[in-house]
Structure 1
Amino acid sequence: MNHLFSCAPRQTALLLSWLLFFSSMTTRAQTTVTGTIIDGANNQPLPFANIVFVGTTIGTTSNEQGVYNLVATGNFTKITVSFIGYQSVTKTITPGTTQQLTIRLEADSHLLNEVVIHRGKQERYRNKNNPAVELIRNVISHKEQNQIGHYAYAAYEEYDKLQFSLSSLSSNVSKRKIFQKYRFLLDNRDTLTLPGKSLLPVYLEEKISEYYYRKSPQKEKVLTKGTKRVDFGQFFDSNGLSLYLNRMYSKVDIYSNSIFLMTNQFLSPIASSAPTFYQYFLADTITIGQTKLIGLNFVPRNASDMLFKGKMYVTLDSNFAVQRINLSINPKINLNWVRDLQIRLQFEPNTDGRYYLSKSDLLADFGVSKGKGGGIFGQRTLSYRNYKTDDARPDAFYEGQQQVVATDAASQPDQFWKDNRHDTLSRAESKVYTNIDSLKRMPSFRRTMETFTFLLAGYKSFGPFEIGPANTFYSFNPIEGFRLRVGGRTTPELSKRYYAETYAAYGFKDQRWKYFLSGTYSLNNKSIYKFPQNYVRASFQRDTKIPGQELQFVQEDNFLLSFKRGVNDKWLYNDTWRIDYVHEFENHFSYSIGFKNWQQSPAGALQFKRIGDDENTPTPTLTTSEFSLETRWAPNEQFYQGKIYRVPIANRYPVFTLRFTAGIKGLLQSQYNYQNLTASISKRVFLSQLGYSTVTVQGGYILGQVPFPLLNIHRANQTYAYQINSYNLMNFLEFVSDHYASVSIDHSFNGFFFNKIPLFKKLKWREAISFKALYGGLRSENDPAQHPSLYQFPVDALGVPYTYTLNKTPYIEASAGIANVLKFFRIDLVKRLNYLDHPNVSQWGIRTRATFDF
């Protein structure tokens, strides 16, 4: 993501940050309970017993010696200790203190027909001849038959509920004068879900769907019958916010090798490679009814890796199926902002004896600091019923879109939800929808959100019109010097069909005005910023430009990009007339057709000169008229639509782009005939514990004879920010070609190696590397040395060549970086590996960028 704030969409990051700040206005007392859990009959320690503050999800487990340490902030008065096969024990504690309790558990003969505790002499842990590892290998080898893909057909109903609350928000807040208007919201507390913590629900969404699966040929179909969610109005992209939150709280498939949560991949404890990264311990064997189960505890070998700890129960029949599993994380894990994470999965037997997932509960507590002050509590609950494995459907049923949403899904009446919810909403949850609707209508709330929106997205709304973006109001460059700009655009409040956008800028050094004006007509009566887009746009722009720079996620006159290294004095003045038609489809295939008339004039030290021209030869203007066709296919793409850019939410699916441009000589004074074809494939590759890579392969070919401004001017970067899609040690205008191929690999190890180094482990730094190679060339017909009618390549003030071709050697650069510095920054040491004899180039460079990662 070539973007100063990457990974998390900026508006979502702001919402979470603002909620964390708001919820941290009060600090509560810290309660610490330590001790040992022992068997009441033989006084032996009980490993992996569960200890929680009564009624909460805040808890821990005892270690192999039965020792536990439970720490949290809140006014807790009781703890409960439980262990399968034993009677639970509740103890009264003094809130806000540190105390030590040794707790004895007695066997419960009413629950169990058989309890066997396996313990022996403590030995060095080994996988070889380890019965716990042998058991987990059986579970792994039987994974396929315990998944839905084992059946020829399967169907079930799914209820999905996702909610966020402010946690530990002082009840005194609502009594403050400044918050009197918000008492209806602040007094809607939930004290039952997490006793000892007061939760203030602020977000809720629900969905009821029917899922259908066919094995051969493999097909899935999801019919969504009802959707309901909190809507914050114009301040946030509701669809994007929902997608991002659901991505953070992804569905947990324990049978999958990797589990994606909080923008990170966790290795499942029953993944194929899990015995390499986990330690397993037999806990107990129980018989409930006719089903015999064995308990298996698991912990990470390295506490900082993206791994779980917890306990599962496995059936001791031919299925070796997981009957129940609880997952949590080690407090030392290399994970930002997350204080606690708990996952509980329950499975029920089907008629054939195999188990299917009946309920999934994922709970996470976020905070600025570990265990102190307020934070955000999130919970996603999924439940399943009406499970069928003989529901054969005709082939026609599976045709068309995989995800189908009923036309009335978002407008289902209250009675529909009362009849179809698998779980009843709590009293506090039931008020969230109406409370947020009331909140967003309040003028004071709107003013507050407008301020946050202006600070983040850079736009100030005035109803039907908004001014921005703010980061372009002031910038500077060698050509214009001090540059002021002001602009704005219409909003859907004025019209959903018609949009206008404009800006005016003035450079105090070149004393020239620049401006832009566009008009857009939406063909589907939807906002042009909503998916799927379908619009026609006409525009004119007169402005400066660095040759070859087309930044994807930031505007070129962004103030932060004004700071550049080296020589940066070769620019262009552009007059560009455009008309474009854009059409997106629900399957995320899109195409655009465009026409552009483009006049380029050199600015600064750049010159359009031919062999034989002298100093008195007038500087020419290069004029071209071109038609373009671009297609893009991004299967299963998800994104967050911001005020300026659409920010993708990375997934495992590739993105394909193909663009064809044809210049027409003689059309509106166009001077050249040419055709330019470019194609690219980009994909995020997940490698489980080894992190993930973003791989982009691109190529292009130009047919026809053209001067250097129309060649492929490869994207360089002379700022101090690391740009993933640019060559960070290449100078502007340094390389041109008429045919090229490139590869870019950016890999994050996510702390896999640093987690083994004590200092880096404590700092929670994460390692990253990148590699970029560009191979290309220039045919003789486009070489100005052989064709004097073409513009000569730029030279510096001493006549030394400034622009080059890529001969037979590819341009290569690589970098090694440290990410998660102060939780927000990535710093890369970049190495340029060749073409070091070019003027004003650097062999090494340090680049940084801001990120928001969990």
Structure 2
Amino acid sequence: MYSDRNMYSVYLYRLICFMLLMAAGVQATPVMAQGLTTIKGTVKDAATNEALIGVSVFIPGTSTGTSTDYEGNFQIRTNQIVNKIQFSYLGYQTASMAVTPGQEQTLHVKLQTDAKVLNEVVVVGKKRKVKYSNKDNPAVDLIRLIVDNKARNRPESYDYVQYEQYEKTQMSLVNTPEKLKRNLLLRKYDFITNNIDTTVLTGRAVLPFFIQEELTEQYYRKSPQTRKTVVKAEKKVDFGEFVDNQGIMAYMQHMYQDVDIYDNNITILTNQFLSPIADMAPTFYKFYLKDTVRTDEGQQLARLQFEPRNPAAFMFTGSMYVTLDGTYAVQSVDMEVSKGVSINWVRDLKIKLDFEKNPDGRYHLSKSGLKADFGLTQNSDMGFYGERVVSFRDYKVNEAQPASHYEGEAVVRTQPTSVLGEDFWQASRHDSLSAVEVNTYTNIDSLVNMKSFRRTMDWGTALIAGYKRAGSKIEIGPINTFYSFNPVEGFRLRFGGRTTNNFSKKVMLETYTAYGFKDEQWKYYLGGTYSLTDRSIWEFPVRAIRVSYQKDTNIPGQELQFVQEDNFLLSFKRGENDKWLYNETYNIDYLREFENHMSYRIGFRNWRQAPAGSLQYIPVGDATGEDESQPLQQLTTTEASIELRWAPNEQFLQGKIYRTPVANRHPVFTLRAAAGIKGTFGGQFEYQKVALNVSKRFYLSQLGYSDVVTEGGYIFGQVPFPLLSIHRANQSYSYQLQSYNLMNFLEFVSDQYASVHIDHGFNGFIFNKLPLIKKTKLREFVTFKALYGKVREENMPHENPDLLRFPTDANGLPLTYTLESKPYMEASVGIGNIFNFFRIDVVKRLTYLDHPNVSDIGIRGRFKFDF
């Protein structure tokens, strides 16, 4: 995708929510306030006095409610008039208790087993009194039966599945009511105090600022396997021009992925958790059979309780009900992340799943709920609260649609959502919104028109994303490139900007100019992109054409990820850094993306490169050495190229003017081919080159994950060394994943090569087992990189007088080499999650240690924001 891939852009959606509400206020639709009623207490089994987990506690006739935690505790706070509170739990009699409105009261509730529902109870002694063992454990035996029957209890076991899905996602600002009211930026706005919800989190107030609803029809076909989504309606808050609504939606979907209890591993917040019914669950979990119940319909269920053997492992604590009719299907799950698990920014995470019975006796998911409490620290009152609720109804199995229905785009929108009014939503929602949620739409609509909001968002975007608005159609930046320095240009000043979507959604223009005070030369860039669809040039799937002209400097072999080359922090480099290029490039390319994440790019480039600094282009000349060849002033190449890319099931965070890829288990294949055209627009060389890159993330459950990148390339034809593959080196102090961090610039060239990069994150697997270190939430990383290549005889300078000599130092010692004798290898050990976003690696170079000016060991750092 066309993008400068500024690494700070992806952080915008972690911080933007805080700025939205701390920035400005708006007079909201008033909500009549009542006296605050606080109800807290515990719920236990009347017979065993054991705490009950997941008991539904709610105020009858309202949507206000909560559930008991692992110790049976609950708390509800509300401004509504409350006369009674109700407690409901499967296998127990529903209980109601009177309360006094406007007061704080503590209730200790004992629930009686339901004589009509429960006809047998198996009481198990408390687990702490008996040493746990899988042997002769009926709970473990039952789990193994569940595992054996997983395949037939999954929706994929049907030939066809169809259902209506309603999804509601929201994010809220969290703090104590008192601190919200005393906040200097918020206390003068009535909607802050009128529209907070005190019933969700104990002792804290929740103020929603983002809410999205979506109503879809889902279709699944087993063979050939097809999934299709028909979007019937969607509704969301609109933050206006400063905040990318589509990007926020994509980010929310990335954080709150679907939870499939039947998967061995469940991905939540970019982490993988071992399911309590994974194939290897008995090895990592403890299971307890608490009781068995029989429903009014005669269905016999078992209640299992589970917890991880290692409290710091990425697993769950909770309970589930399982059928005992031979299907061994999960009927309901109520679980949370163990308190000892180290997840960045997450203080609490709860999941609740409910299943309903199909006519054929099997169960399907009827409702899924995920709740997460985010904060900088565990003890901080301030933070965010996120919730995603998905419900399913009108479930139909093995009712085939016409074959044409499953063809075409995977996601289809039936009509513009703007034509659907509130009457439609009230009739179509699977559950009604609370008064606080309804007011959120009104509040944000008014907020975006406030001058204080617009002013703060403008500066906030400049601080985080690096661009400052200059009117509504142009923005200036990136700010972190305005000043830098290097050995060739000395002090370098740069100023540039780009158009916004307010200028045009179909056209984006971008430009900058820079000046070096040492070389006293001006540099320029001018580019334009035009969308060939009726959508924005950034909206997937893209079909666009781009033209650009650039006259600037760069380092041969330096390829950066997510940062610009003239970022100020990258001005600091180790070792000798005086081999540069002056480039003048004309470029045009066409990009076409498809819904199945296939894409191709066709390009044409004319490139004039001139050596700078100590780099010289000296012809080999007469093999006798009697010919004193004069350095060439420049090389000119004309090149046509094509790139084919396939990224099945690709996920990314889509912004207005950038796209950030999200790693998942699916591979990404990129094939590039190019041909040099001699004689066209001054092109001096004829050659062909091809390269294949394959990247994939491998999830290893509790052992973490490995990002593996393999690449190979070949160049056909005779070319001088500047047109060979100059392998990606890094002499900055920033750790670059796709570069060799202890390789010098221009140290190795090849006309054929193969490489592998492996970056493994243990996700705390080791540190979480160390008593003192596990509290720091540090993460462990190991990396290995290997590169093998060679240069054919026809491209070796000493064999061909028409080529250019490899660079040497002032004493004539070679500085550029081939890789024929052995591969280049380096490895690193890193510690991540320092202050929740920084990673430091100790890098060790393993081969070619005898080369001049090389470092065999170094320390590198990078920002790495992870949950």
| Structure 2 length-normalised TM | 0.90
Question: CA 1:89/1:114 → structure 2, altered by over 3 Å: closer, same or farther?
Answer: farther
CA distance, structure 2, for counterparts of residue 155 and residue 625 of structure 1: 54
What does 1:60-459 correspond to in 2, within 5 Å? 60-62=69-71, 85-86=91-92, 106-109=112-115, 111-119=117-125, 122-168=129-175, 170=177, 173=180, 178-179=185-186, 182-184=189-191, 187-194=194-201, 196-289=203-296, 290-409=298-417, 411-459=419-467
One-letter code aligned to 1:560: L
Q: Kindly indicate whether the alpha-carbon contact (under 8 Å) linking 1:81 and 1:89 is maintained by their aligned counterparts in 2.
A: yes
Q: Kindly indicate whether the alpha-carbon contact (under 8 Å) linking 2:355 and 2:363 is maintained by their aligned counterparts in 1.
A: yes
Say what the alpha-carbon RMSD is for the aligned residues.
3.4
Shift of 1:684: 1.7
The partner residue of 1:717 within 730, 737, 743 is 730
CA distance, structure 1, for counterparts of residue 180 and residue 130 of structure 2: 54
Q: Kindly indicate whether the alpha-carbon contact (under 8 Å) linking 2:590 and 2:601 is maintained by their aligned counterparts in 1.
A: yes
Map Cα deviations across residues 277-329 of structure 1 (whole Å, 9 max, x no partner). 11001111111111111110000111111110000011111101111110112
Shift of 1:626: 1.0
CA distance, structure 1, for counterparts of residue 585 and residue 86 of structure 2: 71
What does 1:542-691 correspond to in 2, within 5 Å? 542-612=551-621, 617-642=630-655, 645-691=658-704
Map Cα deviations across residues 346-374 of structure 1 (whole Å, 9 max, x no partner). 11111111111111111111122224312
Map Cα deviations across residues 128-172 of structure 1 (whole Å, 9 max, x no partner). 221110011111111111111222222111111111112235367
Question: CA 1:787/1:616 → structure 2, altered by over 3 Å: closer, same or farther?
Answer: closer
The partner residue of 1:481 within 490, 500, 517 is 490
Map Cα deviations across residues 718-767 of structure 1 (whole Å, 9 max, x no partner). 11111111111111111100111111111111111221111221111111
One-letter code aligned to 2:758: I
Match of 1:14 in 2: 15
Map Cα deviations across residues 38-68 of structure 1 (whole Å, 9 max, x no partner). 7655xx5526645899766475324xxxxx7
CA distance, structure 2, for counterparts of residue 621 and residue 724 of structure 1: 32
One-letter code aligned to 1:592: R
Q: Secondary structure at the match of 1:61?
A: coil
Q: Secondary structure at the match of 1:437?
A: helix
Q: Kindly indicate whether the alpha-carbon contact (under 8 Å) linking 1:267 and 1:307 is maintained by their aligned counterparts in 2.
A: yes
Q: Which moved more, 1:447-456 or 1:790-799?
A: 790-799
Match of 1:26 in 2: none
CA distance, structure 2, for counterparts of residue 381 and residue 120 of structure 1: 34
Q: Kindly indicate whether the alpha-carbon contact (under 8 Å) linking 2:322 and 2:328 is maintained by their aligned counterparts in 1.
A: yes
Shift of 1:587: 2.5
What does 1:492-531 correspond to in 2, within 5 Å? 492-531=501-540
The partner residue of 1:843 within 841, 845, 856 is 856
What is the percentage of aligned positions where both structures have the same residue?
A: 54
Q: Secondary structure at the match of 1:428?
A: helix
One-letter code aligned to 1:268: S
Question: CA 1:406/1:333 → structure 2, altered by over 3 Å: closer, same or farther?
Answer: same
Map Cα deviations across residues 245-269 of structure 1 (whole Å, 9 max, x no partner). 1121111111111111111111110
Q: Secondary structure at the match of 1:799?
A: coil
Q: Kindly indicate whether the alpha-carbon contact (under 8 Å) linking 1:457 and 1:644 is maintained by their aligned counterparts in 2.
A: no
Match of 2:760 in 1: 747
Q: Secondary structure at the match of 1:495?
A: coil
Q: Kindly indicate whether the alpha-carbon contact (under 8 Å) linking 1:72 and 1:371 is maintained by their aligned counterparts in 2.
A: no
Q: Secondary structure at the match of 1:198?
A: strand
Shift of 1:190: 3.0
CA distance, structure 2, for counterparts of residue 728 and residue 277 of structure 1: 38
CA distance, structure 1, for counterparts of residue 771 and residue 75 of structure 2: 23
One-letter code aligned to 1:816: V
Q: Kindly indicate whether the alpha-carbon contact (under 8 Å) linking 1:601 and 1:621 is maintained by their aligned counterparts in 2.
A: yes
Q: Kindly indicate whether the alpha-carbon contact (under 8 Å) linking 1:5 and 1:850 is maintained by their aligned counterparts in 2.
A: no
Q: Kindly indicate whether the alpha-carbon contact (under 8 Å) linking 1:258 and 1:688 is maintained by their aligned counterparts in 2.
A: yes
CA distance, structure 2, for counterparts of residue 209 and residue 7 of structure 1: 33
Match of 1:27 in 2: none
Shift of 1:110: 5.1
Q: Which runs of 5+ in 1 are unaligned?
A: 24-30, 63-67
Shift of 1:345: 0.8
Shift of 1:594: 1.6
Question: CA 1:263/1:507 → structure 2, altered by over 3 Å: closer, same or farther?
Answer: same
Question: CA 1:159/1:452 → structure 2, altered by over 3 Å: closer, same or farther?
Answer: same
Shift of 1:660: 1.3
One-letter code aligned to 1:333: V
Q: Kindly indicate whether the alpha-carbon contact (under 8 Å) linking 2:176 and 2:205 is maintained by their aligned counterparts in 1.
A: yes
Question: CA 1:575/1:40 → structure 2, altered by over 3 Å: closer, same or farther?
Answer: closer
Q: Kindly indicate whether the alpha-carbon contact (under 8 Å) linking 1:678 and 1:701 is maintained by their aligned counterparts in 2.
A: yes
Q: Which moved more, 1:251-260 or 1:118-127?
A: 118-127
One-letter code aligned to 1:14: L
| Structure 1 length-normalised TM | 0.91
Q: Secondary structure at the match of 1:452?
A: helix
Map Cα deviations across residues 6-65 of structure 1 (whole Å, 9 max, x no partner). 699222122256479889xxxxxxx99999x87655xx5526645899766475324xxx
CA distance, structure 1, for counterparts of residue 416 and residue 792 of structure 2: 59
Q: Kindly indicate whether the alpha-carbon contact (under 8 Å) linking 1:517 and 1:541 is maintained by their aligned counterparts in 2.
A: yes
Shift of 1:782: 0.6
Q: Kindly indicate whether the alpha-carbon contact (under 8 Å) linking 2:706 and 2:759 is maintained by their aligned counterparts in 1.
A: yes
What does 1:824-839 correspond to in 2, within 5 Å? 824-839=837-852
Question: CA 1:247/1:497 → structure 2, altered by over 3 Å: closer, same or farther?
Answer: closer
Match of 1:541 in 2: 550
